[in-house]
Chains A and B, each alone.
Chain A
């Protein structure tokens, strides 16, 4: 996903300046720690949206000594694009999982004990989950439900990672007894777009949702 739909949504609320959009975007995604967006990215996106006719730009004469600023407003085609986005489902993110790769490399290279790698990762995830749980419980549900929901999501993902790790640990011996993927079983040429490019382990046997 890009930031464009979020910007369209913020402009549906009311016309805004570029810097104001950036601040509003950050507030909506849960702070710059959650999603750090550079001012240049905001302006590039706004330029593209303007070219596509989804937003229009006005000049705002600054009040008093303030300089004139560009104000962006949503157009009707912009509103239609926003509603298309609402109507469509969001693709689940199939991330490239560095931990999974590390575990596989440990298994086939014999350079590190997989059990140790799992434990190191587990400890790290628990620390992160503790920090997030503490942070979430510091928020007041009467006024910070958005932050709480975002942290809930992160905590639940960490929980899923930890459960997957427990299962994986129990299956280490079984994995050790299986042949590892060789280059020739990969299809020739570039993997099709959207293909994970991986034939081992079989699709669906590992966590596919992030």
Chain B
């Protein structure tokens, strides 16, 4: 069973002579626990692909299934629920809420899902402790380094225990050392905690942490490279 399957996935922006094909009949699949990097030049469609997988945008053609749910068949509310429970998102600029502490930020997805704040923050604290932030639970984002803020964001992505993490240029705003830490952490999320991680990056150094790289160009898959055979850890 795959966690993601796309078939002939197509996204066209605009219509008529000005239409732009951002994604052109992309068929791919991602296994549970796999760490996949999506690479390619600017405008190759890598962010579009991630947005479609994350249900943040609608496909123009083809299909996409996440954990067995065909996203085309879901209404807005169902899509929101699927996103909140089955996927975690990591962004380039962390997207933390400035007035909330690390624990409150990391707890947000489950708080929004109706879990009591105390219980939600306990779950969040467990992830933050695993990521070496046990001493910083009550720090606000502006009291944390970029690398620490991104670790809070990864804890937030995991707090609802989703099986899929989607990361859009997660190291794009970090220095080399912090970038390596975050890439290593995402690898740990895949290998140790068994979550599938799909990461868009333009940084070769960061892509090398993945099990597989999918190269996109002009909206098409030009190459898939297996860097490491899937290990039977789960």
* Residues of chain A whose beta carbon lies under 8 Å from any beta carbon of chain B: 119, 123, 126-127, 129-130, 132-134, 137, 155-156, 158-159, 162-163, 166, 170
Query: Which residue, A130, A156, A163, A166, has most C-beta atoms of chain B within 10 A?
Result: A130
User: Could you say which residues of chain B place their CB within 8 Å of the CB of A156?
Assistant: 205
- In the complex the two chains form, is A133's CB within 8 Å of B208's CB? yes
- In the complex the two chains form, is B225's CB within 8 Å of A127's CB? yes
- In the complex the two chains form, is A133's CB within 8 Å of B207's CB? no
Query: Total contacts A to B, CB within 8 angstroms?
Result: 39
A132 to B213, CA, bound (A): 16
Name the one of A119, A133, A155, A163 contacting B223, with C-beta atoms under 8 angstroms: A119
User: Could you say which residues of chain B place their CB within 8 Å of the CB of A129?
Assistant: 204-205, 208
Q: Contacts A126-B225, A162-B204; is A137 near B41 (CB within 8 Å)?
A: no
User: Could you say which residues of chain A place their CB within 8 Å of the CB of B225?
Assistant: 123, 126-127
- In the complex the two chains form, is B222's CB within 8 Å of A119's CB? yes
Additional pairs, 12, CB under 8 Å, beyond known A119-B222, A123-B223: A119-B215, A126-B207, A126-B225, A127-B225, A129-B205, A130-B209, A130-B228, A132-B208, A134-B228, A159-B204, A166-B41, A170-B41
Q: Give 30 A-B contacts (CB < 8 Å), ordered by A residue.
A: A119-B215, A119-B222, A123-B223, A123-B225, A126-B207, A126-B208, A126-B213, A126-B225, A126-B227, A127-B225, A127-B227, A129-B204, A129-B205, A129-B208, A130-B208, A130-B209, A130-B227, A130-B228, A132-B208, A133-B205, A133-B208, A133-B209, A134-B228, A137-B184, A155-B208, A156-B205, A158-B208, A159-B204, A159-B205, A163-B204
Query: Which residue, A126, A127, A129, A170, has most C-beta atoms of chain B within 10 A?
Result: A126
Which 3 pairs of residues, A with B, have the shortest CB-CB distance? A129-B208, A130-B227, A162-B204
User: Could you say which residues of chain B place their CB within 8 Å of the CB of A132?
Assistant: 208
User: Could you say which residues of chain A place their CB within 8 Å of the CB of B207?
Assistant: 126
* Residues of chain B whose beta carbon lies under 8 Å from any beta carbon of chain A: 41, 184, 187, 204-205, 207-210, 213, 215, 222-223, 225, 227-228
User: Could you say which residues of chain A place their CB within 8 Å of the CB of B187?
Assistant: 137
A130 to B205, CA, bound (A): 9
Nearest-CB distance from B229 to chain A (Å)? Answer: 11
| Majority SS at the chain B contact face | mixed
Nearest-CB distance from A80 to chain B (Å)? Answer: 38
User: Could you say which residues of chain B place their CB within 8 Å of the CB of A119?
Assistant: 215, 222-223
Measured CB to CB, the nearest residue on chain A to B223 is A119
Measured CB to CB, the nearest residue on chain A to B210 is A130
Measured CB to CB, the nearest residue on chain B to A120 is B223
A159 to B215, CA, bound (A): 16
Name the one of B205, B213, B215, B222 contacting A155, with C-beta atoms under 8 angstroms: B205
User: Could you say which residues of chain A place their CB within 8 Å of the CB of B208?
Assistant: 126, 129-130, 132-133, 155, 158
Measured CB to CB, the nearest residue on chain A to B208 is A129
A148 to B223, CA, bound (A): 31
A155 to B227, CA, bound (A): 15
Nearest-CB distance from A118 to chain B (Å)? Answer: 11
A48 to B84, CA, bound (A): 71
A132 to B207, CA, bound (A): 13
A133 to B210, CA, bound (A): 10
A51 to B222, CA, bound (A): 60
User: Could you say which residues of chain B place their CB within 8 Å of the CB of A159?
Assistant: 204-205
Nearest-CB distance from B188 to chain A (Å)? Answer: 10
User: Could you say which residues of chain A place their CB within 8 Å of the CB of B204?
Assistant: 126, 129, 158-159, 162-163
